Amino acid sequence: MATPSSYRPAQGSIPTKPGVYRFRDAKGRVIYVGKAKSLRPRLSSYFQDIGNLHPRTASMVTTGASVEWTVVDTEVEALQLEYSWIKEFDPRFNVKYRDDKSYPWLAVTVGDEFPRVMVGRGAKRKGTRYFGPYSHAWAIRETVDLLLRVFPMRSCSNGVFKRSAQIGRPCLLGYIDKCAAPCVGNVSPDEHREIVDDFCDFMGGNTTAFTKRIERQMYAASEALDFEKAARLRDDLGALTKALEKQAVVLGDGTDADVIALAEDPLEVAVQIFYVRGGRIRGQRGWVADRTDEGGTPELVQDFLLQLYGGVGVDDGGETIPREVLVPALPPDADVLEVLLGERRGSKVSIRVPQRGDKRDLQQTVANNASQALMLHKTKRASDLTTRNRALEEIQKALALDEVPLRIECYDVSNLQGTEVVASMVVFEDGLSRKSEYRRFVIRGVDGQNDVASMHEVITRRFKRLLDEQARSETVSTDSGPMLVDPETGRPRKFAYAPGLVVVDGGPPQVAAAQEALAELGVTDIPVCGLAKRLEEVWLPGEEDPVIMARTSEGLYLLQRIRDEAHRFAINHHRSRRSKSMVESMLDDVPGLGEVRRKTLLKHFGSLKKLREADADAIALVPGIGPRTATAIKDAVAKADATRKTHATSPAVNTATGELIEED
């Protein structure tokens, strides 16, 4: 553990201008990013007597080994740079409001020729307009089902759309008038685009114009004695009214605003946000984050607003940032944030604290939701952070490691009777998975079924890459000593980040192979262990007896989670490659069917199962496939299926684990 005085900048060397600063640990990793109106007083506050610092701040400065800063011209630039660095380095001591992917969005793929409305989850994509997020997917689906009667736009998947276009008949939605059926040319792309635009306007809050228009059309049809049309418009109006009833009016003035509230305790903070558009609540979302510094509510609000809106730009349509943001306390740099958000939206944005009336009442409702969310989080995940720390400490103690393994990499090998041998690498940091750093390997240097040799190859390739990355990095002198960084980005590459522990799926042979591979590369400072699945024994290199961890041990549970995740990742990769290779092998004897058309065939149907189910006429619709070739393909698939059924009594087994591998 370092002392802050060992890397304190020289007296007077810190500028008094606005800027952004980074604390790094002894390995060069950025652990905290902050900004300041004046760098000198802000940074100097970190190097006072540790006893006067907040415990979390004291932990950060003692973990750090160096500090650096960048001077900018304005506070807006400082905010932008702070957001960019937090996204780039993911510092462990910054408050991080993790994006919960479980919240569903209503998405319209406006970038497609025939846009589709659908309910989705996860990160946003370009070329798609989003509404929400919402609390429950079923509620959105009910609303969409009602609105498709009035706005009959496409809602089917690409596969259904293409199939309907091929056979010349629309799907069921086309027959019950909940889709205009652009797949069979019932409407032109421009006509369908008009329907989509009306749907988006309605979902965006422009509801009154549509209800009044349909009302006028209904009365006009009634006066013209066209009662059938009038009845249909009446039902459409009822569908719109029912959809609007699902969204309560909370602000009578038709305000567009994001209403934000926090619930705090000394360790964690819960944030809730209500999305109000046109005076109606269009969506709700919540986050829970660990508190990592001594900042109060204003600082927490500023961090949240920066992370929520920092990645939004005018190119996104500006719809994500409303005209008004209601918060429980003004952030320290409210004026600067308003300028930044205004630039991102393309028009003025107001950040304020509601004092009275409906807006104040609504924020109190949001605050009650935040309090409930924090209480539920503590109930469900009580001592979760403590549990993870205890698990890592138990692993360190059981394996006699020099330090707690904050980064653990696990490797698994999967094959089918010696064919399509693949391996996986999964990464856990601080007891949590880092899926962005997972890697897949295809074993090329081993013939047949040899899990030990395969493990040797994958460990060799991964750590040879580590050494290569380190060799290509640039050595930079810092206050904490020399550090290897990427010359372009100024930070270590992902593969240059050495793990604190390597775990292999298997017993002594696999562990010995991994240790031998590291030794051949000259890597001697990375510990290795293996987890044998049968008895959950932990094996160390060169040891005759395994390490037995208690069944109730949090450390053993963490190792099991990591091993099972590596196994899942390897099996998924193996199945994907096996499906492609089976298509290629069964079609080898089809005359005139080369590699390009085989790929086209697989891309068209999407999977081997759908190719088996297709008849010769459907296969003939694939570009480049004629009727004669389609018949030959169908015969080859039928022959392969017959051969597969003959060998059905000999199930495929994953030789690394003894588990059955079923066909897709």
pLDDT of residue 580: 54
Q: To 5 degrees, how large is the angle CA 170–CA 171–CA 172?
A: 125
Is residue 608 within 8 A of residue 579, CB to CB? The reply is yes
Question: What amino acid is encoded at 45 in this protein?
Answer: S
* Alpha carbons 323 and 352: distance in angstroms, whole number: 11
The whole-number pLDDT of residue 418 equals 52
Q: Residues of the chain whose pLDDT is less than 50?
A: 100, 246, 249, 314-318, 381-383, 480, 647-664
* Cα-only R_g, the chain: 30
Angstrom distance (rounded) from CA 149 to CA 144: 9
- The 10 Å CB-count burial string (b at 16+, else e) for 16-42 is ebbbbbbbbbbebbbbbbbbbeebbeb
Tell whether pTM > 0.75: no
Residue position matching structure tokens 């009365």: 219
User: Which of 379, 362, 373, 414 lies closest to 257 in space, CA to CA?
Assistant: 362
360 in Cβ contact with 99 (< 8 Å): no
Q: Is 458 exposed, middle or buried (0-12, 13-18, 19+ CB in 10 A)?
A: buried
pLDDT recorded at residue 526: 93
Residue 597: its pLDDT value, please?
A: 76
> What CATH architecture does domain 386-564 belong to?
2-Layer Sandwich (3.30)
Q: Which CATH class is domain 11-89?
A: alpha beta
pLDDT, position 456: 92
| Cis amide leading into 492 (omega within 30) | no
Q: Would you state the structure tokens that stand for residue 213, as one six-digit string?
A: 């228009």
Using CA of residue 81, residue 87, residue 90, residue 96, what is the dihedral sign?
A: positive
pLDDT at 315: 47
Specify the pLDDT at position 663.
33
**Per-domain residue ranges of the chain:** 11-89, 105-246, 257-309+322-380, 386-564, 589-663
Q: What's residue 660's pLDDT? A: 32
In this predicted structure, what is the pLDDT of residue 643? 60
Q: Cβ distance 394 to 538 under 8 Å? A: no
CATH number of 589-663: 1.10.150.20
Q: Is the fold of 386-564 the same as that of 589-663?
A: no
> Maximum CA pair distance of the chain?
94
**Helix or strand (DSSP H, E) at 117:** strand 117-120
CA distances, 632 to each of 238, 583, 606, 636 (Å): 54, 14, 20, 6
pLDDT of residue 383: 47
What integer pLDDT is reported at residue 253 of this predicted model?
A: 63
Looking at the DSSP assignment, which residues form a beta bridge with residue 531? 505, 538
Helix axes 508-520, 451-472, angle to 10 degrees: 30
Closest to 309 measured CA to CA, from 270, 367, 258, 262: 258
Helix (H) or strand (E) holding 71: strand 66-71
Spatial CA neighbour of 621 closest among 610, 629, 609: 629
| Dist. CA 509–CA 396, nearest whole Å | 23
Question: Is the distance from CB of 577 to CB of 442 less than 8 angstroms?
Answer: yes
